[in-house]
Amino acid sequence: MNLFIKLLGTGISLLAGFAGTKAVDAIWEKTTGNKPPKGGHDDVPTTLRSALTFALISASVSAIIQVLANRGTQRAITRFAKSQDIV
């Protein structure tokens, strides 16, 4: 069961990361009016400043999602362990 909770935590982390990426992209596009800089060969030139800003925002959101997913998984494991002790 412990493995199941870890796999579930990993799945939730992946889904939250995907949703976070989409949210950052949408907010960036709505705020700046430009598509987010992704490093591909876009027709629109990207300035270094906008690329670094986008990278910092994306990394911050990813770190927050990772921490929250890890904490949630640890809480679930702790809760499961306590329920096993009671039974």
At residue 5, the pLDDT reads: 73
Query: How do residues 8-21 score in pLDDT, each as one tens digit?
Result: 878 888 888 899 99
Report pTM. Answer: 0.75
Average pLDDT, the chain: 84
DSSP string, 4-51: HHHHHHHHHHHHHHHHHHHHHHHHHHHHHSSPPP-SS--SS---HHHH
More confident residue, 73 or 28: 28
Query: How do residues 48-86 score in pLDDT, each as one tens digit?
Result: 999 999 999 999 999 998 898 888 888 887 887 777 666
